Structures are given as structure tokens and as C-alpha cells.
Amino acid sequence: MSHILRQGIKIGEGIFLITQRGTHSSLPLNRSWPLVGGLRASPLTPVRRMATTGGTTGSRSIGSMGLFLLIVPIGTFCLGTWQVRRREWKLNLIEELSSKTNASPIPFPENLEELEDLEYRRVNMTGTFDHRREILMGPRPLMCYEEKHRGYGKNVTRIFKQVGGDVNQVGSGLISTGQSGFLVVTPFKLADRDLTVLVNRGWVPRKLRSPDSRLDGQVEGLVEMKAVVRKTEQRAPFMPENKQGTMVFLYRDVPTMSQMLRTEPVFLDAVDSVPGGPQGGQTRVNMRNEHLSYLMTWYSLSLATTYLWYRRFIMGKPLL
């Protein structure tokens, strides 16, 4: 991108030299500016307009304003090229997240620092829930999966389309189910070590927000489960902050949750549902990718402003 910008500035300076050749005929264009010299020699590049009035010859100079306004088409072209690279980066990131979520579960790591590189990765855990310290997060819509198939015969692939999502990640083509409820977050003590983490057991409707209304889903004893590693959630614009001591969190504030419930600052989403309890699998992995529209916008502006600049400063015609 910087290379393109330098070339544009170089060409602009060369055009300026050409326009001044009428008053400084000794400027060695071909020696100092070989590219510009080639442009001047080409009959298709009208960088200078000659007019004869009464036997005299005059020239139309682009001037400093024309050179300054040349920054607009060059700058918008560079921004469009930058969005091309951003789109490639986003597509690679989405593919990486998809690979993580579809990978086989791994054991919960001994070193908690390894979790920094395991977001959206499934892990196996064994332990017990402490339902006495249960909290809620929401309100949130229910996120379900629509199963589709791609391919034929033995090459068929099952695809799950997510419906619903995190409160600060809307606008990505997801559709709400229309049901409002809460996510149930419960401390989970691992059986093989003295470690307690936070587990999002899943979604419940508003009428079942009280634990007493879903006693069958309050699993007791040793539990084997699969869960997805998650990180803390950034607060959405204009959303109130979570209050210390509240039993209903508006967003996934892992440090505050863990401090209040006296657990490690580790958060996971349960994959499976419990009969009579919360509906698991409430992990959203879709990401916004609008770079295609951005790059089309910048390239369109570059094309339009290039035409206007050529019409005004090269052809000498009014813009309208």
C-alpha cells in the first residue's frame, strides 16, 4: 500500500514538472523522471493543452491545488486495497475458528495459561456443579441450530446454522427465535484438582429463571461434560455496566463473575443439554465480514474522483 502511494506521489510530482516546462524549458524530464517522460511523449496522455491566439502559444497548468486534490483518488485506492487484505485476513480467521469448533475435544489443560490460545476449543471435564451459587446472564435470545447438508454420497458434510447470538454481536445475519430468556452460569469444581471454574450450562426461558422451577435439571453428583472455552465479553456501546453483587449479569464479565463467586477467571459453554434443565450449545462463533462492501465503496470513490480530477485539471472542463 505504501508502495502504491509513493508511486502516485512520484507521478503527481512529474506531472507538475511537465506543466511548468512552458516557463522552465530546461528541466531534464527524461533524465530525472523517465516515467513522466514516457507519459509526455505519449499522444494518449493530454497533460498539456496548447492554444493559439493571435500567433501566441499558452499552456494550462494543473497547479498546486490540482496536485493536492490528486491525493483523494490515490488515497481511496489505497484504502480499497487495504480492505482487500483485511477481507483475506477475516476469511482466514473464520476458517480457523470453524476448525477449532469442529476439532475433537481435548482434556482440560493443567496449566490455565494455555487457555489463552484455546478459545472456541472443546475440552473434556469431570466434576460437580454448585447450584447454590448459580447466577444468570441476559436477557438473551435462544440460539438453536438448523442442520443442513453439503455434498453428495460419501462426501456429504453436516452444516449447522446458528440462530440467535451474543448481545454485542448482532448484525451478522443471525435470526432471533423470538424467545427471551437467560443463560444459567454455575460454578463447576473439577474432580481431579482443587479448581473451580464458571460454566454456562445453557439457556432457559424467563418462566424458568428460578432454580426451583427446574429442579429436574439441577444435576447432582459427578458429571462428565464437554465445554467450549470462552473469554470475557466486551461491554456493548451504551450498555450499563454489571453491578457488583448482582445475580443477573448483562454481559459475560468473567473477572467480576469469578471474583463474586470465588472461582478462577475461567469461563466455558456447556455443549450438551440436560433433560429438564438449561439448553446447552449456546456458543456463537459467527463473525462479521463486511470488508467486501467496504472495498467496493473505496474503489468506487477512487474511480469517480479520478474521473472528476481528469475532467477538471487535464481536460479543463467544469465538473458539472
What is the grid cell recorded at 185? 452460569
CA 207 to chain centre: 35
Residue with cell 493571435: 54
For the chain, the structural domain boundaries read: 2-83+291-314, 121-270
The pLDDT, as a whole number, for residue 145 is: 56
The pLDDT, as a whole number, for residue 286 is: 61
Q: Please name the residue ranges forming H helices in the chain.
A: 2-19, 29-32, 34-41, 63-69, 71-102, 254-261, 291-309
Q: Got the DSSP string for 107-139? A: EPPSSGGGGGG-TT-EEEEEEEE-GGG-EEEEE
Cβ neighbours of 32 (radius 10 Å) = 12
Residues in the chain predicted with pLDDT less than 50, given as ranges, are 1, 4-5, 9, 15-59, 146-176
C-alpha 59/C-alpha 38 separation (Å) is 19
CA 291 to chain centre: 9
The pLDDT, as a whole number, for residue 2 is: 52
The string of pLDDT tens digits covering residues 76-87 is: 999 999 999 999
Q: Is the pTM of this model over 0.85?
A: no
Helix (H) and strand (E) counts in the chain: 7, 12
Q: Long-range contacts of range 298-303, CB-CB < 8 Å, 24 or more positions apart?
A: 298/76, 298/77, 298/79, 298/80, 298/83, 299/76, 299/77, 299/80, 301/73, 301/76, 302/73, 302/74, 302/76, 302/77, 302/80, 303/73
